[in-house]
Structure 1
Amino acid sequence: MKPFEYFVEEGEVKSSSKNIALAQSLIRDMNERINELQYIDEKKMPKLVFEHYYDALRSFCDALLAKDGYKSYSHQASISYLSTYGYDISIISALDNFRYKRNGSKYYGEKISYEDAKEIKDFYDKIRLKIKENTKDLT
């Protein structure tokens, strides 16, 4: 994973005004997606579960960017930004791998398995408290 500064230099991230309203909206979206997952059977609909978790996590990343005055035009840049909040490389790499799987599913018809859905769910559960801590000023 390239450092966040690389994406800024390449123009995949732009500086902008801090947008707290957008950040709050993205966190609401994240929470709604996570709450909806309780009604979806991950064994019957693993792709939907996987994509919901991924999209929720992407909303989280984009909320941090908006709060701090950035706009990302790249999923990788959004994920890379987590390093500025103290997420270690193993977390960032795992989320980037989920990005890769989601792209394969969404754009190339690759299958998302129950194991994939369970893996991203477990990942979210692992970082859930840190996400809550990072967004307490946005809820």
Structure 2
Amino acid sequence: MKFGDFIKNGAVKRGSADFQLAKSLAITANQDLIFLKTLEVTDNSARKVSSNYYDVLRSVLEALAALDGFKVYSHEAFTYYLRENGLENESAKFDRFRKIRNSINYYGKSISVEEAVEFVEDISGLIAALKEKLLKKLEKK
């Protein structure tokens, strides 16, 4: 499968670059990240904290895609978006996080405190790397 397949089936819409949307998504992602860092991961919070970190990652990806003129309606499409932008390692990581989040949100899988802490550490690294790319793109506009 390719990113273009998601465009063909309507899961991604092509338009013009949306700097304001990208900027807004970057700001809210940063605010959410600041808030999430204040939370303690416990047995009761592990599932929601993990899902919310994934939401921040997705917001950063939505901002990057908006700068390229795309509105993405499929989380899976981001895997191919990253791959086709030469970010193979980031693509694989994102897909792993997507599957973990889906198993939590849609299939009722529980996540231990230890797993959630590891998830947060790993996903935070990807968020930071993609935020850096996003900020560089925003500075060019």
TM-score, normalised via structure 1 length: 0.84
Any idea what SS the aligned residue of 1:41 has? coil
Q: Show the counterpart of 2:49.
A: 49
SS at match of 1:60: helix
> Which residues of structure 2 form unaligned runs of 5+?
none
* Whole-angstrom distance in 2 between the partners of 1:47 and 1:32: 20
- CA drift of 1:87 comes to 1.7
* Contact in 2 for aligned 1:26/1:63 (Cα 8 Å): yes
In the TM superposition, what whole-angstrom CA distance separates every residue of 1:71-112 from its partner, at most 9, and x where no partner exists? 111001123212244322x43222212212212222222212
Matching of residue 81 in structure 1 with residue 119 in structure 2: no
Structure 1: gaps of 5 or more residues: none
Q: CA deviation at 1:22?
A: 0.8
The answer to whether the 8 A contact 1:54-1:99 is kept is yes
- CA distance in structure 2 between the partners assigned to 1:36 and 1:84 by the alignment: 32
Task: Return the alpha-carbon distance in structure 1 between the equivalents of residues 123 and 104 of structure 2.
Answer: 19
Q: Distance in 1 between matches of 2:132 and 2:46?
A: 28
Report deviation, 1:20. 0.9
Question: What TM-score results when the alignment is normalised by the length of structure 2?
Answer: 0.83
| Structure 2 counterparts to residues 1-139 of structure 1, below 5 A | 2-44=1-43, 45-88=45-88, 90-136=89-135, 137-138=137-138
